[in-house]
Structure 1
Amino acid sequence: MVPPEAPATGANAHEAAVPPAASVCAPGSMTVLRHRRDFLAAARAARAGATSLSLQGRERRKDEEAEGIRVGFTCSKKVGNAVARNRAKRRLREAARAVIAAEGRPGWDYVLIGRKEITAERPFEDLKADLRHALRRVHGARG
């Protein structure tokens, strides 16, 4: 198999019909929070901490327009310089694609907050397990 970024010429021209690598979540199932008011609303709602991240989540009111799952990501300067913060956010985005896309609830907003050093360094499977644990706690289950 040829990498998705390889040009479709010569020997791999027959694979041109294969789309490039994409997110594991279905198109339109998750959107990214962009507005400060949405982050503030999530901050006033349920919270759950885990070893490598903090999760804030809220169920949107019925009169709000947005549908599906919305997710926001943030890392403060305590996490480190811009390179460290961006790496932590990239890892949080990938964990959200894998976990929240499958286990999140439609009509909910989630904000994932990176933690100093641990978010960027924790093994990825452990990061996803932490997110699952925090998600269960935000939704009201113990454990």
Structure 2
Amino acid sequence: MAIETLKKRAEFLRIRGGARFATPSFVLETKPRGPVPETVPAAPHDDGPRFGFTVTKKLGKAVDRNRIRRRLKAAVGLLAPTLAHPGHDYVLIARAQARDRAFTDVKKDLERAFLRVHHAPAAPVKGRNA
């Protein structure tokens, strides 16, 4: 399955405040996509899940960051067809253990994260009054 990815900063920021689950390898955040404004052209695969990957410079040099990103993308490619919900956007924020953790453990983390974010209430946004 080819993974449709988030590209723009605004797409990543929109997901903040949605359902969130942390694992030793990454943090998974998700939010359902709302209606697309008329000024934004529709993407060709607008109904499927989309994924964004964040790997900061704190995690190492470019070689390490790209390795982490490839590992996370591989896990998403294996599990997304069955566990990701259509019409949702996901962001995986990598942690240091994503580089050296066994790939089977990363897949288990992702599977558990998918199940938890879709069955847990959305986390409150810090700094906002309810």
Q: Confirm or deny that 1:78 pairs with 2:51.
A: no
Residue 79 of structure 1 and its aligned partner are, at CA, apart by: 1.0
| Amino acid across the alignment from 1:121 | D
Unaligned 5+ residue runs, structure 1?
Answer: 1-24
Work out the number of aligned pairs and report it.
113
CA distance in 1, matches of 2:119, 2:31: 11
Q: How does 1:1-143 map to 2 (within 5 A)?
A: 25=1, 30-61=3-34, 63-64=35-36, 65=42, 66-116=46-96, 118-140=97-119
TM-score by length of 2: 0.81
Aligned mates of 2:98, 2:32 — CA distance in 1: 25
2:85 is paired with a residue of what secondary structure? coil
Aligned counterparts of 2:86 and 2:101: Cα–Cα separation in 1: 28
TM-superposed deviation, 1:45:
1.2
Structure 2's unaligned 5+ residue stretches are 37-41, 121-130
Q: Which amino acid aligns with 1:70?
A: R
Deviations 1:45-69 (A, max 9, x none): 11110121110111111x2242211
**SS of match in other structure, 2:119:** coil
TM-score using structure 1 length = 0.74
Identity %: 40
CA drift of 1:44 comes to: 2.4
Highest Rg: 1 or 2?
Answer: 1
- Aligned-residue Cα RMSD (Å) equals 1.6
Task: Look up the match of 2:39.
Answer: none
Contact 2:83 2:115 in 1 (8 A): no
**Aligned structure 1 segments of 4 or more residues deviating by more than 2 angstroms:** none
